[in-house]
Amino acid sequence: MKRKVLFICTHNSARSQMAEGYVNARYSDRYEGFSAGTDVTKVHPLAIRVMNEIGIDISHQKSKELEEFFDYEIDTVVTVCDGANAVCPMFPGAKETIHVNFPDPSSATGTEDIQLEMFRRVRDDILSFIDQQFGKKDT
């Protein structure tokens, strides 16, 4: 049986969306990834773009309210920003909660190239965290 992992960030637009997409693409044999936000907007186009660069399509994903998952049996909740952790330091029924703070790539300013570099850096940090946290665990 797959373990359910919920990634939470403030807007559910970049960090948590990239994490959801990566878990489902890389570890779908053991995990089912979801994402939600405390103040949702929409999936950021640059998040979609940098995930496409590594062969993962998250264009079909939608921003979701945290409350949508209150009735799910979630094994692990991962808050990926300090804002989400402050609002949701624990999740109803979760067996494990992990907090890690990644910078918000949506806050990058400047040219599109500068913004893309920030999205890529955060993406790579998230992928590394997921590989270390979930890549070696047994179900």
pLDDT, one tens digit for every residue, the chain (139 residues): 899 999 999 899 999 999 999 999 999 999 999 999 988 899 999 999 999 999 999 999 999 998 899 888 999 999 998 766 566 556 778 899 999 999 999 999 999 999 999 999 999 999 999 999 998 755 4
Question: Rounded CA gap, 127 and 18, in Å?
Answer: 8
**9 domain-assigned:** yes
* Residue 99 a catalytic site member: no
Domain count of the fold of the chain:
1
Between CA 71 and CA 75, with CA 74 as vertex, the angle to 5 degrees is 155
pLDDT at 139: 44
**124 domain-assigned:** yes
pTM, whole model, 2 decimals? 0.93
Residue 96 vs residues 11, 16, 53, 56, 139: alpha-carbon distances, Å? 22, 17, 31, 27, 14
* Residue 81 a catalytic site member: yes
**Catalytic-labelled residue, pool 5, 88, 122, 130:** 88
Question: Rounded CA gap, 36 and 120, in Å?
Answer: 21
Question: Rounded CA gap, 41 and 53, in Å?
Answer: 23
* Residue 88 a catalytic site member: yes
Question: Rounded CA gap, 17 and 22, in Å?
Answer: 9
pLDDT at 81: 81
pLDDT at 30: 96
**Catalytic-labelled residue, pool 81, 84, 126, 127:** 81
CATH number for 18: 3.40.50.2300
pLDDT at 84: 62
**Catalytic-labelled residue, pool 5, 6, 8, 9:** 9
pLDDT at 85: 57
Residue 111, domain extent: 3-134
**119 domain-assigned:** yes
**139 domain-assigned:** no
**32 domain-assigned:** yes
